[in-house]
Structure 1
Amino acid sequence: MGELGLPDLDATSDRPVFKQIADHLRAAIDSKELGPGEKLPSESQLIGHYDVARMTVRHALQILQSEGLTVAEHGKGVFVRSRPPVRRLASDRFARHHREQGKAAFIAEAEDAGVKPSVDSIEIQESKPAPEVAAKLNLAEDELVIVRARRYLLNGHPVETATSYIPASIARGSQITQPNSGPGGIYARLEELGHRLDHFTEEIRARMPLRDEARALKLAPGVPVFHLVRTAYDQDGCPVEVCDTVMSSDAYVLSYELPAQ
């Protein structure tokens, strides 16, 4: 091990030098020798340690950034990315007891993870839904929805965007159309309006973010997103909300408890 705590290059390996350097730095990050928020050795330090050209070091650092492990701050250096994980419990996150305690799902998740939740960029409008949303809500061609678009943050860092579509015939004139939907969020308001929630369906896929999504979530290159579309049903089996959510994949662990029979 050299003075930086990194191994020396393996001259007998057929693996390119810049990839060996990336391997060493990745291992240090994975083992927490370089913890979240910590600065990586500078380019000059790595050049001195490995006795390689500056471009070789830069190629190695670019690999780590493309993998979403590091962020480069102009004039300051390269740092290990610091993102708080949140554990989503599918069997519990929409439990009625959270709403009865005045907590929306995101707040309950964040408190469980020990991080500070906040919401910004709330936009509300009444409009005609896209055909796929109208189909999920069983709406006629001329029916409108209330659209609630917002961005969620943990410790001040954006981790999720969500857009809810609620039939205007249900939500029009209620607190659902206000920026502050009240204790327990829009699901609590739907139940107050007589739509006691019975179950949810979710469709989840992983993909690379669109440009606007990467910008909104401040994603580093190489970080994928979870794209989740959820439909909420009331006690009569009627769909009352569709929520289209995009989540930074490195801020969440999706954890599900499934019955065996």
Structure 2
Amino acid sequence: MAVPRTETGADDRRSLHERIAADLRDEIMSGELAPGAKLPSTTQLKDRFDASSATVQKALQLLKDEQLVVGRAGAAVTVREHRQRTLRPAAASMTRAEAGQQYPWLTEIAKHGSRAHSTLLEVTEKVPPADVAAALELAPGATAVLRRQLLTIDDEPVELVASYYPTDLARGTALAEPRKIRGGTPTLLAELGHPPHRSIDRVSARVPTQEQATALRLPGNLPVLRTLRVVHSADERPVEVTVMVKAGHLYELEYEFTSLS
């Protein structure tokens, strides 16, 4: 049955094929259309959305570009294996690697049969963005040590990570050196006398920048999840501020809360 335009499309400025893709994407991501399920036929989608065959095919092509569905022209289109990963970030910023062990996030990804890798893109000293500078409690114009990485899973880029550290803490340490840190930064911060004690995340959905869209190979106009994470030591000093940008269609965040009563 066709969906009345007055209810669904009157105030939506996206083209019809983008709106169709958005509705189908939501059904795929929520599990209503399960992995392996066939999407409704072109005829059914034409009737449902009051659209032409060409418009429906453009919508399906968006989903194919996002690798959510597979199928050839004239054949049934099928939902791919669920690709969205659930992250539980509450303790991630404070988890230390055991001696001789991989970073915890690498170990976690391996449990699911995937290969994770981090590529160090840059280590430099620069004036950070305004929100990072405020979180680090820096004076105007003050610099911080920046470490930028690109994380991949099974050779697919999934996250850009930019971590900033106070210069007086980082200078002369491995934080300021262009190499990976053995055991990860939580382990090093603890060795430097600033063990992570409290972490605060601020998560927002944003339109990707040109750099982000290119680095993450984002298809279409999908949003990204941006997390600003502030890590404090036991004396409440901010010792690390990280900006993490993830492909929005690949991740969901899970937080668990326990009643104090």
The 1:46–1:139 alpha-carbon spacing in structure 2 relative to 1, beyond 3 Å, is: closer
The 1:24–1:197 alpha-carbon spacing in structure 2 relative to 1, beyond 3 Å, is: closer
Counterpart contact for 1:198–1:234, Cα < 8 Å: yes
5 Å-filtered alignment, 1:1-261, equals 13-15=1-3, 30-33=33-36, 56-66=52-62, 69-71=63-65, 84-98=83-97, 102-120=101-119, 122-141=121-140, 143-261=142-260
1:32 positional shift: 2.6
Provide the C-alpha distance between the structure 1 equivalents of 2:179 and 2:54, rounded to a whole number of angstroms.
47
1:229 positional shift: 0.2
**Paired amino acid for 1:71:** D
1:183 positional shift: 2.4
Provide the C-alpha distance between the structure 2 equivalents of 1:94 and 1:121, rounded to a whole number of angstroms.
18
Provide the C-alpha distance between the structure 2 equivalents of 1:15 and 1:97, rounded to a whole number of angstroms.
52
Counterpart contact for 2:159–2:216, Cα < 8 Å: yes
1:126 positional shift: 0.8
SS in 1 for 2:249: helix
The CA RMSD over aligned residues, in Å, is 3.6
**Paired amino acid for 1:189:** L
1:210 positional shift: 2.6
**Paired amino acid for 1:228:** T
Provide the C-alpha distance between the structure 2 equivalents of 1:65 and 1:212, rounded to a whole number of angstroms.
24
Counterpart contact for 1:124–1:178, Cα < 8 Å: yes
Provide the C-alpha distance between the structure 1 equivalents of 2:145 and 2:42, rounded to a whole number of angstroms.
55
Bigger Rg, structure 1 or 2? 1
Counterpart contact for 1:93–1:109, Cα < 8 Å: no
Provide the C-alpha distance between the structure 2 equivalents of 1:114 and 1:62, rounded to a whole number of angstroms.
33
The 1:148–1:83 alpha-carbon spacing in structure 2 relative to 1, beyond 3 Å, is: farther
Counterpart contact for 2:222–2:248, Cα < 8 Å: yes
Counterpart contact for 1:163–1:243, Cα < 8 Å: yes
Deviations 1:21-58 (CA, angstroms, capped at 9, x unpaired): 978997899233358xxxx9xxxx969xx9xxxx9333
Alignment partner, residue 10 of structure 2: none
Farther-moved stretch of structure 1 (90-99 vs 224-233): 90-99
TM-score (normalizing by structure 1): 0.72
The 1:98–1:57 alpha-carbon spacing in structure 2 relative to 1, beyond 3 Å, is: farther
Counterpart contact for 1:233–1:240, Cα < 8 Å: yes
Identity of aligned residues (%): 26
Counterpart contact for 1:86–1:113, Cα < 8 Å: no
Structure 2, gaps ≥5 residues long: 5-15
Counterpart contact for 1:158–1:216, Cα < 8 Å: yes
Structure 1, gaps ≥5 residues long: 1-12
Counterpart contact for 2:96–2:184, Cα < 8 Å: no
Provide the C-alpha distance between the structure 1 equivalents of 2:167 and 2:195, rounded to a whole number of angstroms.
17
1:236 positional shift: 0.9
**Paired amino acid for 2:132:** V
Provide the C-alpha distance between the structure 1 equivalents of 2:24 and 2:124, rounded to a whole number of angstroms.
50
**Paired amino acid for 2:177:** Q
Provide the C-alpha distance between the structure 1 equivalents of 2:145 and 2:153, rounded to a whole number of angstroms.
26
**Paired amino acid for 1:199:** R
The 1:146–1:257 alpha-carbon spacing in structure 2 relative to 1, beyond 3 Å, is: same
Deviations 1:175-201 (CA, angstroms, capped at 9, x unpaired): 112333322212221111111110100
The 1:81–1:65 alpha-carbon spacing in structure 2 relative to 1, beyond 3 Å, is: farther
